[in-house]
């Protein structure tokens, strides 16, 4: 059964505490917090301060996804804000081993995020160092995009790489996930499902999360 990680990027920020409490009441295990800088991706979301406010609402696992350049400058601030896992993008890190080491030394789990156009093979040197691969199934920077169909093969390829390496890395899939494709994503080998609009725009978000957990 996959972990469900609602993406707060799709929450109602005028009612953020309400939406956080909805996740607390639901069967979702993780909070997914997307950080965008307007450089690596074209949009800007929020930073450590809002992350800290989200952390105060929950004891659940806070999964912070840094879609930013120079992530090493900001990792300590997100650790202080309460992140349990930080994922940095392979595309932005000139010394990814060092980025992973920094996150681990601050007492958090470490993840590596990968864009749709980046080959899965580039992850091979890091699989025994990290806890999570955040595989983007949409182009990062905006919510509400359609799932990229080629992601299924990338998940299967990554699952084979992980199994062959003997590591226990979780495959987190981020973007365009809903009731209509969740079964195929899990069958391909995913462990963690990040869902935004399909949860927060639904008539009954708690029921939608429950439905996602049934697959």
If you write DSSP's letter for every residue of the chain in order, what string do you get?
-PEEEEBGGGS-GGGHHHHHHHHHHSS--EEEEEEEBSSSSS-B---HHHHHHHHHT--SEEEEEEESSSGGGTHHHHHHHT-SEEEEETTT-TTHHHHHHHHHHTT-EEEEEE-TTS-GGGGGGGTTT-SEEEEESS-TT-SSPPPPTTHHHHHHHHHHHHHHHT---EEEEESS--TTTHHHHHHHT-SEEEESHHHHTSS-HHHHHHHHHT-
**Exactly one of 37, 63, 131, 174 is catalytic; which is it?**
174
pLDDT in tens, 192-210: 999 999 999 999 999 999 9
**Exactly one of 12, 19, 34, 131 is catalytic; which is it?**
34
Give yes or no: 174 in active site.
Answer: yes
Residue span of the structural domain in which 163 resides: 3-213
Q: What is the mean pLDDT of each run of 10 residues along the chain (215 residues)?
A: 95 97 98 96 94 98 98 98 98 97 98 97 97 95 83 97 95 96 97 96 97 94
Overall number of domains in the chain: 1
Instruction: Provide the CATH number for the domain around residue 46.
Output: 3.20.20.70
Give yes or no: 12 in active site.
Answer: no
């Amino acid at each position: 059964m996959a972990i469900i990680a609602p993406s707060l990027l799709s929450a109602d920020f005028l009612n953020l505490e309400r939406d956080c409490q909805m996740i607390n009441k639901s069967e979702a295990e993780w909070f997914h917090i997307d950080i965008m800088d307007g450089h690596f991706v074209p949009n800007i979301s929020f930073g450590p301060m809002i992350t800290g406010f989200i952390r105060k609402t929950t004891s659940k696992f806070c999964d912070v996804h840094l879609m930013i350049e120079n992530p090493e400058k900001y990792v300590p601030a997100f650790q202080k804000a309460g992140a349990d896992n930080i994922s940095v993008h392979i595309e932005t890190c000139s010394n990814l081993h060092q980025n992973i080491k920094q996150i681990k030394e601050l007492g958090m789990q470490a993840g590596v995020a990968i864009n749709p156009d980046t080959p899965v093979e580039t992850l091979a040197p890091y699989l025994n160092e990290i806890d999570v691969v955040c595989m983007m199934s949409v182009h990062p920077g905006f919510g509400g995009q359609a799932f990229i169909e080629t992601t299924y093969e990338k998940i299967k390829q990554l699952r084979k790489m992980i199994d062959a390496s003997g590591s226990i890395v979780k495959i987190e899939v981020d973007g365009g996930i809903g009731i209509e494709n969740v079964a195929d994503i899990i069958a391909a080998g995913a462990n963690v499902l990040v869902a935004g609009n399909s949860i927060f725009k639904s008539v009954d978000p708690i029921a939608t999360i429950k439905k996602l957990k049934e697959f």
